[in-house]
Structure 1
């Protein structure tokens, strides 16, 4: 069996000391295999779940030809007489849910409302605002060149034809999708089971909310940030709290997490500090692809697998992401490395996060040879052009910079210093954070 470490060494640009972000993403993508379990859920419970199979429409939508607006339905032959105006006699009315059942002759029309079935022999609708109708009369007149034959008619199956795929497997169900399936009469569907993610923070200095702060201690913010980001992805979470810098405690937490979850996330404990024991433990019962990225913030980041047993291959496996301890680095690495993996493991088909070009309002210092994700405030001018301003200190410990910002300024691996006014890529937080 090929190990993660062996696989990683075959990836282009592999560098165990400073792996490029693109190479790290490629490695993670290869090993993020979807969960296989499927469950049936009612339509109302399907929001944000991942569709497990294609849904084929059992009916045409709309079911019948219908009027696209309020007006008068008639046969297109009335437009081909060569006269400059068209005069028609009204023979009835059609409302949505109440069709007109009679026949319509060549010089006749039916008053129709939006959504009403098209009467037999009618294929064109003239909007009521284009017609002249005297008070108390049963005739209408309009200019022959006011519309073309077949105008303002919606065809049966125009939105969705019977037998065609309405939604594809791997789709994350949105509000509009629930409405679409309801329009097809579908009240239950198959979805992938939710991904299970266990997470905890490491460090003797960390305190949970409600605990007193001793000298040198700080409140643990990373678990709350991770919980919120995971909740956005609609996964099942298992919060294992704060684990002290003790090998036995860390080993027990990792084994317990591997036994209970598909993915294990930790924050802190993956650098080269004397009290960072994760690396030596994973050499015993794990398989690690990389420990360090050419990335700022987020250089110390571990990715691999852990098992609940005493050795690799024994017990239950889980993918492992060892995130940095600094709060901003936790968020950056989660969104740039972890997020796509969790979506793939959930069975979804991830879409690349869009990048927008913006002019930088300030000069930005940047060292080539690493990818940087600086925090910025982006705004769009009246001319439609985007501009971005970095949010002051870019220290990975300044979490307030994330709250102030509305985007990442994405500076590529080979880019160097950015001059004021130079264009950069930005990734907006809206819909992400």
Structure 2
């Protein structure tokens, strides 16, 4: 993503500046623990890991076929006697006899003296001999150490482990890893108007959509979520719940009640128990954002509109939560793609527009949902990502635009 937009946004704080300030106010570093590799998906390494040996550990065959010494074969190819076979798992300690070939299988070690492998589909076998086409020495051989030299650092501290990292570690014989303890995030909901799905709504009441979208975001990030019951609009009850959650969690997260100038028990309770900062961000949807502390426990207050809460959780809260978990790389990398829309009116806030990729005229373009209201989750469900239009920017159809896939933001 581009840096702060630099436009006249009427005192609004640029998104990147706000994220940077949040990242400078992290909670204490989490304690570490050792976990089995099978339980390490999504966990963050607390110490680097180096390869204990060369990979591959020996020269081996890249395919099923026949191995030989290239110098033993005439330039035009020809027949060599078969001297045996080597399968994966065999030791292959005996030296290849001069002028012979051996049947070999993928991953099997080359015997001493062999330097080349020929694919089986290019060969013919008859009467204990194999016909081999012309070869170049070294073909189809995986050389010892060609992927990793012994002692090479393969994963750095702060790396969040995906399926491919687990496979790599398993291939190195790593049975357990030292990771940071999961970040404990307390999710809070407040408001007399909120009801849970399945309950009957009375006039003026709404279902608590933010609780479930934020639960999805937090679980997708691999965090330990403490989901607290919705608290009524009562100062004492709000203060008690915040105190309890702060004693049990590393970070608190809530949505709603953070608009500038609005009276709210949540903000008052935060102020009484710790410290409160109200920010107005140059982002749409989601201008109001709050940050503070309940005692020593950080608290993030997201806007209340459902689409705004979701987008600010993904754009602003996600980097903070991942860095607090110990991750080093926390900012998503936008794709630069042609816009399938035009943007004719410059805005004082950076737009995060619900979008998806579609082919137009044979070209993959970023296309917008027609409804971008801050309360509308239907457009977020239609979308596969977010298109970014910087504050003060207009855009012609076909011009390059930054696109953030949800696949980057929701994990």
TM-score, normalising length: structure 2: 0.91
Counterpart-to-counterpart distance in 1, 2:67 and 2:360: 46
Q: Does 1:426 align with 2:397?
A: no
Taking the aligned partners of 1:142 and 1:375, their CA distance within structure 2 comes to 59
CA–CA separation in structure 2 for the residues paired with 1:41 and 1:217: 45
1:140 to 130, 135, 147: 130
The answer on 1:28 being equivalent to 2:46 is no
SS of 2:407's equivalent in the other structure is: coil
Matches within 5 A, 1:309-388: 317-364=296-343, 366-380=345-359, 383=362, 385-388=363-366
In structure 2, the residue matched to 1:60 is: 54
For residue 263 of structure 1, report the CA deviation from its aligned partner: 0.8
Native 8 Å contact 2:259 2:288 kept in 1: yes
Query: Does the 8 Å contact 2:86/2:92 carry over to 1?
Result: yes
| Count of residues in Structure 1 that have an aligned counterpart in Structure 2 | 405
Q: Which runs of 5+ in 2 are unaligned?
A: 1-5
The answer to whether the aligner puts 1:121 opposite 2:113 as a matched pair is: yes
1:212-223 equivalences under 5 Å are 212-223=200-211
What is the root-mean-square deviation in Å for CA atoms of aligned residues?
Answer: 2.5
Query: Does the 8 Å CA contact 2:258/2:278 hold for their aligned counterparts?
Result: no
Shift of 1:274: 4.5
Structure 1 residue 96: Cα displacement: 1.0
Provide the residue aligned with 1:103 in structure 2.
Answer: 95
Q: Per-residue deviation at 1:378? A: 1.8
Provide the residue aligned with 1:156 in structure 2.
144
1:397 corresponds in structure 2 to: 375
CA contact (8 A) 1:407 1:428 kept: yes
- SS of residue paired to 1:47: coil
Give the match's secondary structure for 1:339: helix
Query: Contact between 2:231 and 2:241, CA under 8 Å: does it hold in 1?
Result: yes
3-state SS of paired residue (1:403): helix
Contact 1:223/1:241 (CA < 8 Å) preserved in 2?
Answer: no
Alpha-carbon contact 2:288-2:302 (below 8 Å) kept: yes
Q: Report the Cα distance in structure 1 between the residues aligned to 2:338 and 2:154, rounded to whole angstroms.
A: 41
Worse-matched range after superposition: 48-57 or 293-302: 48-57
Structure 1 segments unaligned to the other structure (5+ residues): 1-11, 308-316
Partner residue of 1:311?
none
Contact conserved, 2:9 with 2:348, CA < 8 A, in 1? no
- Select between 226-235 and 270-279 the one with higher mean Cα deviation: 270-279
**Post-superposition offset of 1:270:** 0.6
Asked if the contact 2:234/2:265 (under 8 Å) is kept, the reply is yes
Distance 1:415 1:13 in 2: 9
Range 60-69 or range 353-362, more displaced = 353-362
Inter-CA distance 250–182: structure 2 relative to 1 (3 Å threshold): same
Aligned equivalents of 1:16, 1:285: Cα separation in 2: 31
- SS of residue matched to 2:24: helix
Q: Decide whether aligned partners of structure 1 residues 234 and 96 sit closer, same or farther in structure 2, where only a CA change above 3 A counts.
A: same
SS at match of 2:83: strand
Q: Give the TM-score normalised by the residue count of structure 1.
A: 0.86
Q: Distance in 2 between matches of 1:347 and 1:221?
A: 29
Aligned to 2:238: 250
Q: Distance in 2 between matches of 1:290 and 1:131?
A: 74
Match of 1:376, SS state, is strand
Q: Is the 8 A contact 1:306 1:318 kept in 2?
A: yes
In structure 2, do the counterparts of structure 1 residues 282 and 251 end up closer, same or farther at CA, with 3 Å as the change threshold?
Answer: same
Deviation, structure 1 residue 142:
3.1
* Residues 13 and 250 of structure 1, relative CA distance in 2, 3 Å threshold: farther
- 2:35 is matched with 41
How far has the Cα of 1:289 moved from its partner? 4.6
